[in-house]
Amino acid sequence: MNLTTVNQVKTIITEEHSSQLHLWHKLGWRHATVIYFDAHLDLQYISQDRINSLLKCQTNEELIQLEKPYHTVPDKGYSYSIEDFLFAAHRLGLIDHVIWVCPTPEKGRQNPMDTIRMLKNMEGFRMEDFTSFEIVGNTVKSKLLGLDVTICGYQDLADLELTINTKIDIDIDYFIALPQDSPWIDPKEVFKTLQKLPIEYDHVTFTRSVSSGYMPLRYHFIADYMAALWRNDIPLAEHYSRLFALDSKAQQGEVEAARFGCLEELTKFPKCAATYYLLSLLLSDGEKAFEYQSNAANLCPSYRPSILRDANAIISRDLKYDKTMLEKLEQQLQDHESDDNERLLTHFTFGLLYSNLGDKESTFKHYQACQEIKAGCYPQLSLALAGMSLNSEDEEQAISLLEKALLDESTKPEAHTLLGSIYLKKSNYDLARKHLSQATEMLPSAKKPLKLLAELYQKIGDDKNYRIQMHKYHQIQFFIR
């Protein structure tokens, strides 16, 4: 964590967004409104048991212990991660209102109906969440999982009524447009907008999101750029502004001009890892590029090569890939220095990537590699392998794998749904109803388990419950479209 205090404003940078939970707690946030810049709304339901563990915490250190050490590890033993920490922050009383500032790279303004359609496809929300949407101008207001949420573009912030207890939090993946995988706006423009708001604050929190793959490594410096702007560190802010412009030139094909500019920046800021790294990307000379990458890594460990980070990026930013690309990464893994934990997580991520390609053999190979490093539960891989087993009509193997997927909250609803469908097909109606009912309890807005439950009641001649489930199904169909 990097903490600097200048002009009474603290700029605090964390590596991953879930760390804001214990950071906000440490800063003493209570029932705050947070202006929340992020490419994603990190609001998902957390079970009461996991929330209870958080509520029992007496110290900030205890909260830190309940944060997932890495976003892909199983939920068991932890209470929050990058996808659900806002729900935890609300239940702990840290925040009452999130103003989610969505990226608007193409249209310039957020389309309220597009926002609602996007939210309706998120898992874990309930019927009352889908009926709470209210469109006010260019903004959408709602209450999701009990939390007041306002969704808008950065240009709309000036039109909102903001309370005195308003904070600012920025995940820099907000600035990256996909599939271009490059910035859509200069962070300075967002800074200027926020500076005009009629609010007072003594700190701003930032997140890099690089190690989880949501942010390209080449834009790791954007957090430092924004922090320099807030600290009014004019020389450093101007350096990063020039670096941002040089990257833009490179993206537009002006590679020679960008290279020359980077070399010029190194004469002024010779210890800037971001400049060395960008320069390494602009060189055709592999040996020189490696030298510059090494310089960047020596100045800042975040720039060290990481097969895990590269594999995560494919999933997190939905990058295109094929088996040939994965095989090249696997070859690099053999020569890559890493500890057991990093190798385990890398094999786990490779397994997920191969499962998305439908390659059961390669998925299982990496599942076994995980087990060899550390025997244990890998629910997401179990779920993926179960799906492929069902495709090959091996139901017994699928059942065995799905039982393992029941051990984690992230995979539990889908595992219950698939087990319910298997037992329904086998005419084992008691087991089918048990699993499908549990799936609908965890994901009330999921259509598949509702429809399967309706089919079950129809088969056993329970017309009343058949009509109830079909009514729920049609309600969801109406609201989620």
Q: Domain total for the chain? A: 3
pLDDT-derived band of residue 479, with 50, 70 and 90 as boundaries? low
Looking at residue 8, its pLDDT comes to 63
Can you give the residue range of the structural domain that contains 186?
2-231
Q: Are residues 198 and 325 in the same domain?
A: no
Edge-to-edge strands, sheet with 139-144: 2-6, 9-14, 203-207, 166-171, 32-37, 95-101, 147-152, 139-144, 134-136
pLDDT-derived band of residue 445, with 50, 70 and 90 as boundaries? confident
Looking at residue 75, its pLDDT comes to 85
Looking at residue 5, its pLDDT comes to 41
pLDDT-derived band of residue 208, with 50, 70 and 90 as boundaries? very high
Strands 176-177 and 139-144: unpaired
Is 379:408 a contact under the CB 8 Å cutoff? yes
Both structure tokens of 457: 């009641």
Cα separation, 481 vs 476, whole angstroms: 9
Looking at residue 362, its pLDDT comes to 97
Cα separation, 114 vs 119, whole angstroms: 9
Q: Are residues 243 and 179 in the same domain?
A: no
Looking at residue 132, its pLDDT comes to 81
Both structure tokens of 375: 């025997």
Q: Tens digits of per-residue pLDDT, 40-90?
A: 999 999 999 999 999 999 999 999 999 999 988 888 889 999 999 999 999
Q: Are residues 190 and 267 in the same domain?
A: no
Q: Are residues 245 and 379 in the same domain?
A: no
Residue 447: CB partners within 8 Å, gap ≥ 6?
A: 473, 476, 477, 480
Both structure tokens of 101: 């500032």
Q: Are residues 267 and 355 in the same domain?
A: no
Which segments within 17-146 are labelled E, that is strand?
32-37, 95-101, 134-136, 139-144
The closest of 231, 210, 235 to 8, measured between CA atoms, is 231
In this prediction, residues 136-164 reach a mean pLDDT of 92
- Whether 457 is in a domain gets the answer yes
Residue 234: CB partners within 8 Å, gap ≥ 6?
A: none
Is 20:169 a contact under the CB 8 Å cutoff? yes
CATH of the domain at 154: 3.40.800
- CA distances in angstroms from 24 to 86, 88, 170, 171, listed in the order given: 11, 12, 13, 14
Q: Are residues 192 and 125 in the same domain?
A: yes
- Whether 312 is in a domain gets the answer no
Q: Are residues 226 and 243 in the same domain?
A: no
> Position 98: which residue type?
V
CATH of the domain at 288: 1.25.40.10
The closest of 34, 45, 121 to 83, measured between CA atoms, is 45
The closest of 13, 16, 22 to 69, measured between CA atoms, is 16
* For residue 110, pLDDT beyond 80: no
- Whether 117 is in a domain gets the answer yes
Q: Are residues 238 and 223 in the same domain?
A: no
Q: Are residues 475 and 397 in the same domain?
A: yes
- Whether 311 is in a domain gets the answer no
Is 246:51 a contact under the CB 8 Å cutoff? no
Residue 116: CB partners within 8 Å, gap ≥ 6?
A: 133, 135, 140
